Structure 1
Amino acid sequence: MTRPPCPSCHARVTPLALECPVCGLALPRRPLPRPLLFQASALRAPAPAPKGERQSLSVPALGRVEPLPLVEPPPGDPLALPPIPAVELRTPAAPESDLLDAFWPVVRMEAGELACLLALNLIAAMAACLASGVFPARLYGEMWAYLVPLHLTLSWAYLMVPLVLVGQSPMMALLRLAVDADQPERRMAFSLLHLVSSAAFPVSFLCMVLTPDHRTLAELLSGQEILQVPSARLR
């Protein structure tokens, strides 16, 4: 007993299949030439098949749908839409006067931070010399491995503690500046980079002169910005 191919995709179908394995078209059940063994339903007369009803596909017949060609309208067609010009989005640059107004407060802030760090470390060195009773050259020659980490920790704590707590170093608060960071961990990371930027003030000043937005070395390394508190405008 053979069955004709699928009427939708013309695939070969086994005689006992109820649907096409390729396109999913439901196939009508063909009557058996004789009833099977112990088949009680074969004793009843088969119901006449309804006429005039069309079988719909449960899934689309893959491979039989031709792609529709896209016809572009001619140039003179009045219904053709004109091409949309590409719009280049540009961020409005800050006025040069605003950049210059924010330039000198940051320069004074970093110069003041360097002066405060030098004074703090000088006081610590004098205290260590008075406590040990020796001159600074001999003290640092014999105990530099202990004094250098002490100076680094003292300098970082001077900047880190106020930056983490309020987002401002002592000189930033004096000049009404603040770090644009809400998370304490970002402020802590910025305090370390700000220590490097203030200690290397000539390099940071050169970065402020050469960059278009007058960024300090700490701002370039961290990606964060120093804001002016009254106007809250980015430099």
Structure 2
Amino acid sequence: MSFSLPNILRAASTVVAGFALCAVAAQASPVYDNLGASQVGSDPIYSYGPIANSFNTGANGSGFLTGFKALLGNGSTAIVGDIRVSLHADGANAPGAELVSLGSLSSADVATGGFAAYGFAPVSAFQLAANTTYWIEIESTSANDIFWSWSDDLLALGVAGQSNYSAVLGTNANSASFGPYQMAVEVPEPASLALVFMGLSMMAVTAQRRRRR
């Protein structure tokens, strides 16, 4: 391959295009999102936990889990401890086997005086299956005063037909009496994945042509 200016420019444009397409892959679409619903109450993770809420991926929900957010609050700065978040399979309408850890959070990093959305991400890549029920579980690994907010809004994305769980109350269908925990689960948009595969294919073809030259 010649290192002429046209060849360098073509190579640079291919790399830029590849990075742009990979950036598109970062765009995600929620399959469950009631973060913006009106808050009705909250449950203490330490004394009620582990606590969890289910979600279903739906027909377009296959793809790698990209992120999770939970609406959390801290009742006291005097008690400093950690919580751990994980993704679980559905086990007879309750959290089943753990599939992947979504990380941990110290109560020292959770603000008091109100609730805010805190983000978590898989510690390793995990691909969700379409039309499948999973559970997001939050547990305490040490004493803390973190609360997970819940709402009685059943019209938010993905809420209807799902369930919530706590070690104290067991499993209950999302309802006005047993409001779903407030969270958002995101997976890549199908169109984004298609563009990424197209971009990677274009880069592979370009690289093969250069080798032949």
Scaled by the length of structure 1, the TM-score of the pair is 0.22
Tell me which protein shows more helix as a share of its residues: 1
> More relative contact order in 1 or in 2 (CA 8 Å, sep 6+)?
2
TM-score normalised according to structure 2 size: 0.24
CA radius of gyration, larger in: 1
